[in-house]
């Protein structure tokens, strides 16, 4: 979140506005009362667009701050991208700065170039993708050779190319150097300052901070791991981790207008097959309620927990388990599934299981005898699941 | 021929004494892969039983370092089964010892580790990481793929996914379309060998007649592949598939690289790129064999 990103900014010498991270309305009001001036109350949430969603307020004294802080704490911010919304649990109370100009600076990984790329724009405070679409001339990029690292000339080159106002020029190389140091040191996927403000008094400060860390690299920074856990993690990810899946092995999909209702739960062994499974359901006229990659072995316990996770979604009316038995034997997989789902502690929905590979025929026989619907191909399974979800017997 | 791997490739296994390493060593040997030894620091001088494929297989030498293994065996290829925190080091070690091609099976290597590895080990081809490896059917398999679905033939296959590859290859094999080489390039954001690198190799392979590109949402590898096909592969029919087309934006699906961020990595952009290159995109994997056969007939 912003307050954590700014803490990292300060560690590498990037100037940020004076402020405090407040975890209660009382703390917020007490801070404003003790520090006369104009303050911004910024909701600390993961979602973007919090200003438009009503998550940013302004207060010039404690009396004005109180009702605003009371309103913000516990408020659920929502917008089009986040229909479920996100609850505000803390505020960053920051000095209000007099803005002369707003710029944008970020460093991210360019997958195709396999290099870090610095992106600078003279149009700060806006979505950089929109700027790229409508004012490409305002954006400038530089690809860093990781073997050489960041050099100050890159910042000068970018500042001129993106036509940053002259007031930025002196501070800019130091700010980008700090940003690159942070990007590398913490193994970030993205570090972003938007806006990078030039104040009326001529200072250059990071008014907002966005840092996306690489889950795979987090083990190198146990201090940041602790930070990550105190925020409201993605619910899907938390649910996946709780049953022993990888963080991104499960995702739940919201219903969308103009599309078939999401009534079919899916489990597949492998990410590609999982994606293929949801696509096949869509092709068959249905809607996948989720993506779940159960990984290689499909152990009985994990099958059961995955099944329970997917069917905890009340929209799910039928289930499609798609297993391409490569190395594992089909009859063993079938026995595992039957064992996992035979108890009364699972919600019974019509269950279609696609099973191929070694001993798949024996596997399908076992499944049929247990009352499930075994099929041989993915298309067949998707069609059957859609029919069952729509009430077929 | 084939690309990247054939019967003469001498392969070592980094992490050979681990559970996964040994299990897959035995499977690769059973397939006919010329595995000449393995590396586990501290276990140099010992031997492992790689199964009954040959007398040598049942008594494979283990070395302390990759350099020792290369010096003793002349190994050209390596396959890496070491945990994420040590995987970058294993790749640097392979590069230092003069290995030509490294398959990194490991899932979960930090992207920044791979940024540095690919920037500094350019004389070594890296397949993966987070990939199922590669197979030249009938010749050799260096990976964790289920060997039963493959058949030797003249179709090249490149994929970002594991199980979806097996799904598609299974259909190709059933349709009588054997494969020259199948490469699983991996699902991570930073990978060593891209679609374009594989297409370039297939373009120059006289034993590959047509190519299947199995992509997924996220990144721009598919767009780059389409542009390469348009410019350089007029004579080899290509068919594509894109996994995750029904995925909503912003959800990361299993692979670290499979995410639509903003307007990047969308299926629309990939479909448009393949359309511009004249490459048909199958809506379902089951359509791929027919699409391939009709394209091959057109080119014949």
The total domain count for chain B is 2
Kindly indicate the confidence band of residue A127, based on its pLDDT and cuts at 50, 70 and 90.
confident
By percentage, how much of chain A surpasses pLDDT 90?
64
Higher model confidence: residue B158 or residue A331?
Answer: B158
What's the per-residue H, E or C state across B207-268?
CCCEEEEEEECCCCHHHHHHHHHHHHCCCCCEEEEEECCCCCCCCCCCCCCCCCECCECCHH
Question: How many Å apart are CA A275 and CA A253, to the nearest integer?
Answer: 13
Q: Does B110 touch chain A (CB under 8 A)?
A: yes
| Domain identity same for B166 and B251 | yes
- Does B137 reside within a domain? no
- Does B136 reside within a domain? no
Question: How many Å apart are CA A154 and CA A73, to the nearest integer?
Answer: 42
pLDDT tens per residue, range B93-117: 999 999 999 999 998 999 999 999 9
What's chain B's Rg over C-alpha atoms? Answer: 19
Helices (H), chain A: 2-11, 25-34, 62-72, 128-134, 152-161, 172-185, 222-230, 235-242, 271-283, 300-311, 330-341, 360-369, 378-389
Are the Cβ atoms of B253 and A129 closer than 8 angstroms? Answer: no
Closest residue in A to B121 (Cα–Cα): A147
- Does B243 reside within a domain? yes
> The CATH number of the domain where B86 resides is what?
3.40.50.720
| Domain identity same for B165 and B232 | yes
Tokens of A260: 């078939």
pLDDT tens per residue, range A143-175: 999 888 999 999 999 999 999 999 999 999 999
Q: Indicate whether A232 pLDDT > 60.
A: no
Query: What pLDDT does residue B56 have?
Result: 87
Contacts of B285 (CB under 8 A, 6+ apart): A276, A378, B164, B167, B168, B171, B241
Q: Does A81 touch chain B (CB under 8 A)?
A: yes
Check B47, B77, B255, B299 and give the catalytic one.
Answer: B255
Question: How many Å apart are CA B146 and CA A325, to the nearest integer?
Answer: 9
| Domain identity same for B90 and B199 | no
The residue whose two tokens read 């393995």 is B38
Kindly list the residues from chain A whose CB atom is less than 8 angstroms away from the CB atom of residue B251.
Answer: 236, 251, 253, 291
By percentage, how much of chain B surpasses pLDDT 90?
81
Are the Cβ atoms of A271 and B161 closer than 8 angstroms? Answer: yes
- The reply to whether B255 belongs to the active site is yes
Question: How many Å apart are CA A294 and CA B203, to the nearest integer?
Answer: 36
| Domain identity same for B160 and B247 | yes
Class of domain A99-219: alpha beta
In Å, how far is A53's CA from the nearest CA of chain B? 19
Question: How many Å apart are CA B135 and CA B11, to the nearest integer?
Answer: 13
| Domain A242-389 bears CATH identifier 3.40.50.261 | yes
- Does B132 reside within a domain? no
| Domain identity same for B110 and B195 | no
Question: Average pLDDT, whole number, for chain B?
Answer: 93
> The CATH number of the domain where B282 resides is what?
3.40.50.261
Q: Does B125 touch chain A (CB under 8 A)?
A: no
The segment with the largest mean pLDDT, out of A146-150, A356-360, B207-211, is: B207-211
| Domain identity same for B150 and B294 | yes
Contacts of A105 (CB under 8 A, 6+ apart): A118, A119, A120, A121, A175, A176, A179, A192, A193, A194, A196
- Does B248 reside within a domain? yes
- Does B134 reside within a domain? no
Q: Indicate whether A230 pLDDT > 60.
A: no
In Å, how far is B300's CA from the nearest CA of chain A? 31
Point out which residues pair with B46 in neighbouring strands: none
The number of C-alpha atoms within 13 Å of A130 and in the hemisphere containing its C-beta is: 5
Are the Cβ atoms of A248 and B254 closer than 8 angstroms? Answer: yes
Question: How many Å apart are CA B170 and CA B191, to the nearest integer?
Answer: 25
Class of domain A18-95: alpha beta
Give residue limits of the domains in chain A: 18-95, 99-219, 242-389
Pairing of strands B101-104, B125-127: parallel
H or E segment to which residue A323 belongs: strand A318-325
To the nearest 10°, the Cα dihedral for A323, A324, A326, A332? 30
Last residue in a domain, options B127, B155, B174 = B127
Nearest-by-Cβ selection for B161 from A116, A272, A358: A272
Last residue in a domain, options B127, B161, B194 = B127
pTM: 0.88
Task: For residue A250, give the 3-state DSSP assignment.
Answer: strand
Q: What is the mean pLDDT of residues A198-210?
A: 95
Nearest-by-Cβ selection for A379 from B160, B164, B286: B286
pLDDT tens per residue, range A301-327: 888 899 999 999 999 999 999 998 776
| Domain identity same for B271 and B218 | yes
Nearest-by-Cβ selection for B116 from A146, A189, A272: A146
Q: What is the mean pLDDT of residues A4-26?
A: 94
Pairing of strands A290-292, A250-252: antiparallel
A66-72's contacts with Cβ under 8 Å and 24+ in sequence apart are A66/A25, A66/A29, A68/A41, A69/A22, A69/A25, A69/A28, A69/A29, A69/A41, A70/A25, A72/A25, A72/A41, A72/A43
- Phi, psi values for residue A332, rounded to 5°: -70, -40
Question: B240 with B279: CB under 8 angstroms?
Answer: yes
Please report the ipTM that was assigned to this predicted complex. 0.82
Query: What pLDDT does residue A233 have?
Result: 58
Tokens of A2: 């912003």
In Å, how far is B297's CA from the nearest CA of chain A? 26
Question: How many Å apart are CA B168 and CA B285, to the nearest integer?
Answer: 6
- Does B175 reside within a domain? yes
Question: A209 with A15: CB under 8 angstroms?
Answer: no
Contacts of A216 (CB under 8 A, 6+ apart): B84, B108, B109, B110, B111, B256
> In chain A, how many H helices and how many E strands?
13, 18
Kindly indicate the confidence band of residue A231, based on its pLDDT and cuts at 50, 70 and 90.
very low
Higher model confidence: residue A289 or residue A328?
Answer: A289
| Domain identity same for B283 and B158 | yes
Are the Cβ atoms of B216 and A269 closer than 8 angstroms? Answer: no
Upstream peptide bond of A375 is cis (omega within 30 degrees of 0): no
Q: B27 is in which domain, residue-wise?
A: 11-127
| Active site residue ranges of A | 104, 192
Closest residue in A to B246 (Cα–Cα): A279
pLDDT tens per residue, range B32-52: 999 999 999 999 999 999 998
pLDDT tens per residue, range B172-188: 999 999 999 999 999 89
Question: How many Å apart are CA A322 and CA A308, to the nearest integer?
Answer: 16
- Does B1 reside within a domain? no
Could you tell me the sign of the dihedral formed by the alpha carbons of B183, A357, A319, A373, in that order?
positive
Q: Which of A386, A299, A311, A313 is nearest to A346 (CA)?
A: A311
To the nearest 10°, the Cα dihedral for A147, A151, A155, A156? -130
What DSSP string describes A195-232? Answer: EEEEETTS-EEE---EEEE-GGGGGG-HHHHHHHHHS-
Are the Cβ atoms of A291 and B254 closer than 8 angstroms? Answer: yes
């Amino acid at each position: 979140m912003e307050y954590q990103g700014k803490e990292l900014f300060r560690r590498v010498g990037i100037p940020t506005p004076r402020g405090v991270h407040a975890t209660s309305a009382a703390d917020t009001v007490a801070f404003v009362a003790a520090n006369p001036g104009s303050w911004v109350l910024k909701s600390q949430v993961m979602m973007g667009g919090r200003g438009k969603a009503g998550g940013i307020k302004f207060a010039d004294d404690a009396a004005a701050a109180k009702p605003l802080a009371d309103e913000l704490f516990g408020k659920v911010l929502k917008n089009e991208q986040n229909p479920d919304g996100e609850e505000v649990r803390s505020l960053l109370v920051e000095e209000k700065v007099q803005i002369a100009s707003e710029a944008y600076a970020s460093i991210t990984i360019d997958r195709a170039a396999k290099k870090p790329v610095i992106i600078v724009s003279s149009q700060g405070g806006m979505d950089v993708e929109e700027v790229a679409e409508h004012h490409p001339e305002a954006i400038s990029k530089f690809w860093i050779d990781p073997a050489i690292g960041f050099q100050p000339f890159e910042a000068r080159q970018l500042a001129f190319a993106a036509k940053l106002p002259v007031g930025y020029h002196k501070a800019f190389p130091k700010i980008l150097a700090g940003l690159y140091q942070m990007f590398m040191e913490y193994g970030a996927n993205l570090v972003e300052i938007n806006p990078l403000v030039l104040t009326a008094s001529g200072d250059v400060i990071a008014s907002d901070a966005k840092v996306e860390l690489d889950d795979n690299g987090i083990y190198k920074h146990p201090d940041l791991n602790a930070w990550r856990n105190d925020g409201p993690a993605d619910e899907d990810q938390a649910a996946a981790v709780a049953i022993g899946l990888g963080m991104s092995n499960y995702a739940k999909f919201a219903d969308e207008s103009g599309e078939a209702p999401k009534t079919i739960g899916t489990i597949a062994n492998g990410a590609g097959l999982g994606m293929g499974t949801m696509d096949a359901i869509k092709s068959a006229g249905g809607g996948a309620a989720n993506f779940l990659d159960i990984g290689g072995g499909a152990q009985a316990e994990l099958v059961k927990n995955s099944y329970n996770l997917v069917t905890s979604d009340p929209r799910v009316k039928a289930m499609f388990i798609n297993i391409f038995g490569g190395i594992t034997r089909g009859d063993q997989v079938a026995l595992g599934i039957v064992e996992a789902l035979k108890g009364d502690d699972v919600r019974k929905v019509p269950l279609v299981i696609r099973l191929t590979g070694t001993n798949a025929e024996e596997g399908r026989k076992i499944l049929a005898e247990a009352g499930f619907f075994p099929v041989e191909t993915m298309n067949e399974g998707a069609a059957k699941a859609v029919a069952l979800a729509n009430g077929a017997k | 021929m084939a690309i990247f791997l054939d019967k003469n490739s001498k392969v070592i296994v980094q992490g050979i004494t681990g559970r996964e390493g040994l299990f897959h060593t035995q499977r690769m040997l059973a397939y006919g892969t010329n595995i000449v030894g393995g590396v586990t620091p501290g276990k140099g001088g010992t031997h492992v039983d790689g199964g009954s494929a040959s007398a040598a297989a049942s008594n494979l030498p283990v070395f302390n370092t990759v350099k020792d293994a290369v010096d003793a065996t002349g190994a050209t290829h390596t396959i890496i089964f070491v945990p994420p925190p040590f995987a970058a080091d294993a790749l640097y070690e392979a590069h230092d010892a003069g290995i030509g091609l490294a398959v990194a099976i490991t899932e979960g290597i930090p992207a920044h580790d791979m940024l540095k590895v690919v920037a500094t080990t350019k004389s070594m081809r890296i397949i993966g990481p987070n990939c199922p490896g590669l197979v030249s059917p009938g010749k050799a398999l260096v990976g964790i793929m289920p060997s039963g679905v493959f058949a030797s033939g003249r179709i090249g296959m490149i994929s970002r996914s594991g199980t979806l590859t097996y799904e598609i290859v299974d259909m190709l094999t059933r349709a009588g379309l054997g494969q020259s080489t199948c490469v699983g390039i991996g699902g991570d954001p930073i990978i060593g060998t891209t679609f374009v690198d594989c297409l370039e190799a297939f373009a120059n392979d006289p034993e590959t007649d047509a190519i299947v590109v199995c992509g997924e949402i996220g990144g721009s590898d598919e767009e780059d592949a389409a542009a390469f096909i348009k410019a350089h592969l007029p004579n080899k029919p290509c068919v594509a598939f894109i996994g995750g087309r029904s995925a909503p934006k912003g959800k990361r699906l299993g692979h670290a690289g499979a995410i639509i961020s903003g307007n990047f990595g969308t299926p629309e952009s990939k479909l448009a790129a393949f359309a511009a290159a004249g490459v048909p995109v199958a809506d379902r994997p089951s359509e791929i064999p027919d699409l391939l056969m009709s394209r091959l007939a057109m080119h014949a």
